[in-house]
Amino acid sequence: MSDQRVVVITGSGRGIGKGIAERLAKDGYAVVIADLDPKTAGETAQELVGKGFNAVSVAGDVSKKEDHEKFVNKAVEEFGRLDTYINNAGIAQIKLLQDVTPEDMERIFKINVFGDLYGIQAATEQFRRQDDGERIRKIINASSIAGHIAFDLLGAYSATKFAVRGLTQAAAKEVGRDHITVNAYCPGIVGTDMWDLIDAKMVELKGGETGQYLKQYAQSITLGRVETAEDVANYVSYLASPDSDYMTGQSVQIDGGIQFI
């Protein structure tokens, strides 16, 4: 079995997940790019391989428990082990709570909350199968600043991200004696496709021009600029490294100074 650390990252074909994959590959990880879109996942994995890193892709739906098991199996088949599992995949929804339907709520919870739970379960089962002694293994979840203070028009999304914080704390307490840590990262306003969608939906609901709401929200950032995928990846790199081995159950805001709580 290789000593190289191995990570599965869901939703890593593009956006924040891709940024995390690139950073962890540079940190020495072998990376499993798990994404709903097989084309995007494959292209990202090939980019990493082309740069000399170990990477493979696997397609699957995070709302399905069996697909998380498939992601873990891919890591073990290709690289012999699993060290870190990152529940990065998620979706947003822009709607007044009064207009949210049962179908809306079911879909966003299946992806953002059930998906994280299934990832925690699949990773924990694999970690317990491995004979790693006291070596620390990592589960890392994607929450949000909206998981600390809810946003209007993002009520359902905010609820899911509060739920992720709860899962993170409970899982950390349950698996700590197995030498597994569970933490979460809470990004702010990141310049990715998700925020382009949020901005477009805001225009649709409130009127205005494309880019107006991204610019408006960005004015609240103390550091004066929109966050990048690399900013998030830099913090996730710490969570995935031995430097954070004594940290568990935490959901830290990495937002450039939007919220101070």
**Share of residues in the chain with pLDDT > 90 (%):** 87
The CATH number of whichever domain residue 116 belongs to comes to: 3.40.50.720
**222-240 pLDDT, tens per residue?**
999 999 999 999 999 999 9
77 located within any domain? yes
Give DSSP secondary structure letters for the chain: ---S-EEEEET-SSHHHHHHHHHHHHTT-EEEEEES-HHHHHHHHHHHHHTT--EEEEE--TTSHHHHHHHHHHHHHHHS---EEEE-------B-GGG--HHHHHHHHIIIIIHHHHHHHHHHHHHHHS--TT--EEEEEE--GGGTS--TTBHHHHHHHHHHHHHHHHHHHHHGGGTEEEEEEEE-SB-SHHHHHHHHHHHHHH---TTHHHHHHHTT-TTSS-B-HHHHHHHHHHHHSGGGTT--S-EEEESSSS---
23 located within any domain? yes
- Of the two residues 3 and 70, the one the predictor is more confident about is 70
Average pLDDT, the chain: 95
Residues 208-215: what's their mean pLDDT?
Answer: 82
For residue 170, pLDDT over 90 is answered with yes
219 located within any domain? no
Domain tally, the chain = 1
70 is catalytic: no
161 is catalytic: yes
For residue 216, pLDDT over 90 is answered with no
Residues 159-175: what's their mean pLDDT?
Answer: 98
198 located within any domain? no
215 located within any domain? no
Q: Which of 29, 85, 118, 157 is catalytic?
A: 157
**122-159 pLDDT, tens per residue?**
999 999 999 899 999 999 999 999 999 999 999 999 99
Decide: pTM greater than 0.85: yes
28 located within any domain? yes
120 located within any domain? yes
Domain enclosing residue 44, as ranges: 6-189+228-254
Q: Which of 18, 74, 138, 161 is catalytic?
A: 161
132 located within any domain? yes
